[in-house]
């Protein structure tokens, strides 16, 4: 019997995450409730039409049976069209529904006022002929439909300005006070947000969506070792974040289509709920800024908190490895910033004094360039110089006295060995 290895945990043993269970249960309950509501609507329409025809049967004695059946079929067809329209728009936004409702209400009120005005004009001009009544009715109907359409169109196109007109009415659900922080998968796996939460510098609620937890679980169950380690690290850090920061919330905002990526869902959630996205992904940062969504990149925050190094500063740096270009060496400053040293390849493995020449800020971090402060000999050159100094032959005669012989030499030191 095969046992699951530690690197490939069994699904039966661990089971799906709690977030996935709750998400699937909530979506299944919502689908069942929508099906029951649609069936109830269809039954009510058919029942209402049937009871109306039955209650008025005394007046319908001369009405043929095909007309009654046609009326029922027309009612069923109208109800079916409504259900089809409802099924084709599964993701309805409260702002749009409320805007349509207000627009229809305003349009109907305007249509009633216009109809009353037409009746006053018709009475004043004594338009009582059958043709006039037909034309007046058509004018009322067309005017009413036009006013309703214009009202709905104006409300939907200017719903963001209605909060100014009606102070306590807004069409979008926005978080009041400090904007909550919406974490993405990369920010959780990065782990620095946990350290920030422990310092007490954060004063906003932290929100994690269920689809982010699902992505972490998918990474943890991946066959690829690197992805599996990243997913497990993210789940562990998420547990630590909940312990370190009390105002951490797990939310389930059903936004967008299921086929949309996590980044697109994050942007839609931030737009609808009024959140700030926290990420380390430079691509997501650019897309969010293009769509005017508040976003905070942890790499940018870390870069702002690093030591300010200006050209001309001298630092002792250990050259770790070779750079991309010929002759370059790579070292790291105390805060982890990469330092590229021109001419540092010859000093790999040693600590030299480097003068900063330039700095470059990138989306992934800061890059610093420098050069050795002076021509410092390479380790191989130092070794050659030492060997040359120790292997020199002793000087037997002074070069400035070529005529010197052994008789004119000074006596040897008696303490020196022969």
Q: pLDDT for 191-212, tens place per residue?
A: 889 988 888 888 889 999 989 9
Fold of 308-372: OB fold (Dihydrolipoamide Acetyltransferase, E2P) (2.40.50)
pLDDT tens digits for 41-79?
778 878 777 777 666 555 555 556 676 777 778 878 887
Least confident of 184-188, 234-238, 413-417: 413-417
pLDDT at 362 over 80: no
CA 176/CA 204 separation, integer angstroms: 11
The structure tokens listed for 81 are 């069209």
Predicted pLDDT at 18: 45
pLDDT of residue 11: 42
**Of 175, 198, 172, residue with least CA distance to 251:** 175
Under the banding of pLDDT at 50, 70 and 90, the label for residue 181 is very high
Q: pLDDT tens digits for 10-20?
A: 444 444 444 44
Band (pLDDT 50/70/90 cuts) for residue 385 is: very low
267-to-215, 260, 271, 394 alpha-carbon distances in Å: 16, 11, 6, 81
Residue 180's nearest CA partner among 268, 254, 252, 270 is 270
Q: How far is CA 155 from CA 89, 146, 172, 272, in A?
A: 20, 14, 13, 18
Among 3-17, 135-149, 182-196, the least confident range: 3-17
Per the structure block, which two tokens stand in for 408? 């004119």
Are 181 and 278 in contact, with CB atoms under 8 Å apart? Answer: yes
- The pLDDT value recorded for residue 261 is 84
**How much is the average pLDDT of 342-367?**
81
For the chain, what percent of residues have pLDDT higher than 90? 15
* pLDDT above 60: residue 322: yes
The predicted model gives 323-344 an average pLDDT of 85
Q: Of all helices (H) and strands (E), which one includes residue 372? A: strand 365-372
> Above 70 in pLDDT, residue 371?
yes
The more confident residue out of 167 and 277 is: 277
For the beta carbon of residue 377, count every other beta carbon within 10 angstroms. Answer: 12
- 309: pLDDT confidence band, cut at 50, 70 and 90? confident
Top-level class of domain 181-280: alpha beta
pLDDT at residue number 279: 93
pLDDT at 13: 41
pLDDT band at 4 (very low <50, low <70, confident <90, very high): very low
pTM score of the predicted model: 0.46
76-121 confidence digits (pLDDT tens): 888 788 778 777 776 666 667 777 788 888 888 988 888 888 888 8
Least confident of 123-127, 236-240, 342-346, 386-390: 386-390
User: DSSP assignment, residue 166?
Assistant: S
% the chain with pLDDT above 70: 68
pLDDT digits (tens, 9 = 90+) for 207-261: 999 899 999 999 999 999 888 999 999 999 999 999 989 889 888 776 555 667 8
Read off the pLDDT of residues 255-293 as tens digits, 9 standing for 90 and up.
555 667 888 889 988 888 889 999 999 899 999 999 989
Please report, for residues 92, 103, 158, 257, the alpha-carbon distance to residue 97 in angstroms, rounded to integers and kept in the order given.
7, 10, 14, 19
Mean pLDDT of the chain: 75
251 against 390, higher pLDDT: 251
Alpha-carbon distance of 211 to 182, in angstroms, equals: 12
For residue 388, pLDDT beyond 60: no
């Amino acid at each position: 019997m095969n046992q699951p290895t530690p690197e490939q945990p069994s699904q039966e043993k661990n089971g799906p995450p709690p977030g996935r269970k709750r998400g699937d249960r909530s979506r299944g309950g919502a689908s069942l409730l929508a099906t029951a509501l649609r069936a109830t609507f269809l039954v009510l329409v058919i029942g209402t039409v049937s009871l109306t025809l039955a209650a008025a049967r005394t007046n319908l004695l001369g009405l043929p049976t095909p007309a009654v059946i046609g009326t029922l079929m027309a009612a069923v067809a109208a109800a079916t069209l409504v259900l089809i329209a409802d099924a084709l728009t599964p993701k309805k936004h409260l702002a749009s529904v409320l805007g349509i409702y207000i627009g229809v209400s305003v349009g109907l009120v305007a249509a009633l006022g216009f109809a009353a005005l037409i009746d006053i004009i018709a009475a004043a001009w004594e338009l009582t002929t059958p043709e006039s009544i037909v034309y007046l009715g058509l004018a009322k109907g067309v005017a009413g439909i036009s006013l309703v359409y214009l009202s709905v169109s104006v409300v939907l196109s200017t719903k963001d300005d209605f909060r100014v007109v009606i102070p306590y009415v807004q069409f979008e659900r926005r978080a009041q006070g400090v904007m909550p922080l919406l974490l993405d998968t990369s920010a959780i796996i990065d782990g620095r947000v946990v350290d920030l939460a422990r310092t007490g510098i954060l004063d906003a609620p932290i929100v994690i969506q269920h689809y982010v937890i699902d992505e972490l679980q998918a990474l943890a169950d991946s066959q690829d070792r690197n992805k599996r380690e990243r997913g497990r690290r993210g789940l562990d850090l998420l547990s630590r974040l909940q312990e370190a920061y009390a105002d951490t919330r797990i939310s389930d905002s059903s936004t967008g289509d299921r086929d949309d990526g996590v980044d697109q869902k994050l942007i839609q959630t931030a737009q609808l709920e009024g959140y700030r996205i926290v990420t380390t992904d430079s691509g997501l940062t650019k897309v969010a800024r293009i769509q005017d969504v508040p976003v905070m990149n942890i790499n940018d925050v870390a870069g702002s908190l690093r030591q300010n190094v200006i050209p001309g500063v001298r630092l002792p740096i250990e050259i770790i490895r070779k750079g991309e270009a010929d002759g370059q060496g790579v070292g790291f400053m105390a805060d982890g910033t990469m330092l590229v040293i021109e001419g540092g390849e010859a000093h790999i493995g040693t600590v030299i004094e480097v003068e900063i020449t330039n700095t470059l800020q990138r989306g992934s971090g800061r890059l610093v360039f420098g050069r050795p402060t002076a021509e410092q000999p390479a380790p191989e050159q130092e070794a050659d110089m030492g060997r040359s100094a120790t292997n020199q032959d002793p000087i037997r005669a002074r070069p400035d006295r070529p005529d010197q012989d052994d008789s004119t030499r000074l006596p040897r030191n008696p303490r020196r060995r022969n």
